[in-house]
């Protein structure tokens, strides 16, 4: 992970997931970024995001598009710690983790971002109630800092289904 998270910080201590396993993001900077919801069981075991079945869907899709899943993509989650029973994180949890996600986005400076699922869309748009992914899927969004100089950054972001939804209904 390019930034650090202090689990003893006031922010983390206020989070209901403070005692759960943190799974750090990984990947190269300045290229693609894929943002998911929160780490699952496999991710906790292996200590990296998107290394279970959902990750396999992403990796095979990326490969078929000529994007190298390891060299070209930084994998991150909107929520960094594992929610027990993979429960969808509450707005409180998403909000507590949001500054960490944004610190990371601005450090990685990706040129393109894939937002997988409604939690990732809400976190990227600072709207925990972003609405269903069906109303965002395929939209082209520009995320930007509107700052000058080295802090200037913008990226093209596309919301899509979470790969777990595709595993449940491959027609998606
Ligand atoms: N689902 C996610 O949203 N993130 C992961 O890292 C794994 C599964």
Mind listing the pLDDT tens digit for each residue in 146-171?
899 988 999 999 999 999 999 999 99
H helices of the chain, where?
10-13, 41-46, 53-64, 91-108, 118-124, 163-168
As a whole number, the mean pLDDT across the chain is 96
pTM of the model: 0.96
- DSSP 3-state of 100: helix
- DSSP 3-state of 167: helix
| d(CA 76, ligand 1 centre) in Å | 8
- DSSP 3-state of 12: helix
Residues 172, 167: Cα–Cα separation, whole Å = 9
C-beta of 160 in contact with ligand 1 (< 6 A): no
C-beta of 43 in contact with ligand 1 (< 6 A): yes
C-beta of 38 in contact with ligand 1 (< 6 A): yes
Percentage of the residues of the chain whose pLDDT score is greater than 70 = 100
**pLDDT the model gives residue 129:** 78
| d(CA 148, ligand 1 centre) in Å | 34
pLDDT reading at 55 higher than 90: yes
C-beta of 161 in contact with ligand 1 (< 6 A): no
Confidence bin at 47 (pLDDT 50/70/90): very high
C-beta of 89 in contact with ligand 1 (< 6 A): no
Q: Which of ligand 1's atoms lies nearest the C-alpha of 42? A: 7
**pLDDT the model gives residue 89:** 96
**pLDDT the model gives residue 1:** 85
Percentage of the residues of the chain whose pLDDT score is greater than 90 = 93
């Amino acid at each position: 992970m390019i930034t650090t998270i202090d689990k003893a910080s006031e922010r983390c201590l206020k989070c209901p997931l403070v005692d759960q396993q943190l799974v750090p993001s990984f990947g190269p900077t300045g290229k693609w970024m894929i943002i998911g919801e929160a780490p699952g069981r496999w991710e906790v075991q292996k200590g990296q995001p998107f290394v279970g079945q959902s990750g396999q869907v992403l990796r095979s899709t990326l490969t078929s598009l000529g994007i190298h899943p390891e060299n070209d993509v930084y994998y991150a989650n909107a929520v960094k710690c594992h929610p027990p029973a993979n429960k969808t994180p509450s707005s409180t949890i998403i909000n507590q983790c949001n500054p960490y996600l944004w610190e990371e986005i601005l450090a990685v400076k990706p040129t393109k971002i894939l937002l997988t699922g409604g939690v990732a869309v809400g976190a990227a748009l600072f709207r925990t109630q972003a609405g269903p992914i069906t109303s965002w899927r395929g939209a082209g969004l520009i995320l930007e800092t509107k700052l000058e100089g080295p802090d200037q950054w913008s990226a093209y972001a596309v919301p899509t289904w979470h790969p777990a939804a595709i595993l449940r209904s491959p027609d998606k």
